[in-house]
Amino acid sequence: MSRYEYKVVPAPVKAPRKAAGAKTSEDRFAHGLEALINKLAADGWQYQRAEMLPQEERSGLTGSATTYRNVLIFCRPSPLDTYRAEVMDVDTPQETPMAAVSTEAQRQRLGPARGPAGGRGPVLTARKGEAVEDEAEDLAQSDTDHTKPAS
């Protein structure tokens, strides 16, 4: 998938004073716009469209006013995608995705899970009530031993 980067520039509002072969202000304006588009095209930017977008600005102390701005939108392929296209070689073999590897091959490679010798693993939980009560008694006994004055 291609990625693009975009550039938004303000559209010219005035025609340049001089333009070769331009006699009217419309011709000068078109020439100025053409020069801007050609300048960006030389850098790899492709003209997409012109937009008129609202912008809220402060007006006075507490007021605000909406001004409409004309902008030109350009895009070009992201430099990262250009780099990838140059680096990717058509003759390079592609890796097989993990989904394509059969489950049988995975089982043979990994093997079954095995527990410790004797067939039974250690019990990791205490029996209800038994170990907890013993620990509580041991803690209570050790607390009372330390608080008694030595005779």
Residue 151, pLDDT above cutoff 60: no
Average pLDDT, the chain: 76
Q: Which of the four pLDDT bands, split at 50, 70 and 90, describes residue 125? A: low
In sign, the C-alpha dihedral spanning 130, 136, 138, 140 is negative
Residue 6, pLDDT above cutoff 90: yes
* Mean pLDDT of all residues in 116-142: 61
Residue 34, pLDDT above cutoff 80: yes
Q: Note the pLDDT of residue 2.
A: 76
Give the lowest-confidence range in 32-36, 42-46, 134-138.
134-138
Residues 6+ apart with CB under 8 A from 45: 7, 74, 75, 76
- For residues 61 and 101, the model is more confident at 61
Residues 6+ apart with CB under 8 A from 53: 68, 69, 71
Residue 148, pLDDT above cutoff 90: no
Residues 6+ apart with CB under 8 A from 47: 37, 40, 41, 72, 73, 74
Q: Note the pLDDT of residue 43.
A: 93
Residue 37, pLDDT above cutoff 90: yes
Give the lowest-confidence range in 16-30, 40-54, 101-115.
101-115
